[in-house]
């Protein structure tokens, strides 16, 4: 962990309990939103549970093409 991240974490820990709880809830909301976005945009994750071989290759190729496009 960087020294900057450690300093931020120390500041959060020093907050009064109510403020600490509010910050924690906002962080959780942010992580949940990021997780939902990642899951819905990832063709491989969305392909889980599909019949083996059914469009899985196409999903993999699409995912790889997207990764190459992003750089």
Residue 12 domain flag: no
* Mean pLDDT across 10-19: 92
Number of structural domains, the chain? 1
Give the number of other CB atoms < 10 A from CB of residue 9: 11
Q: What is the pLDDT of residue 55?
A: 74
- Yes or no: say if 3 and 24 are a contact pair by the CB < 8 Å rule: no
pLDDT in tens, 21-69: 999 899 888 877 666 555 566 666 666 665 555 677 788 888 888 888 8
Residue 35 domain flag: yes
Residue 51 domain flag: yes
Residue 46 domain flag: yes
Residue 25: domain span: 21-70
Of residues 27 and 71, more confidently modeled = 27
63, 64, 67 from 71: Cα distances, Å: 13, 11, 6
Contacts for 43 with CB less than 8 Å, ≥ 6 apart: 59, 60, 62, 63, 66
Residue 27 domain flag: yes
Residue 9 domain flag: no
């Amino acid at each position: 962990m960087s020294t900057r991240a450690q300093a931020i974490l120390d500041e959060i820990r020093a907050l009064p309990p109510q403020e600490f709880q509010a910050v924690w809830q906002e962080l959780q909301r942010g992580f949940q939103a990021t997780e939902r976005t990642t899951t819905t945009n990832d063709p491989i994750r969305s392909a889980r549970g599909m019949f083996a071989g059914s469009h899985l290759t196409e999903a993999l190729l699409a995912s790889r093409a997207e990764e190459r496009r992003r750089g």
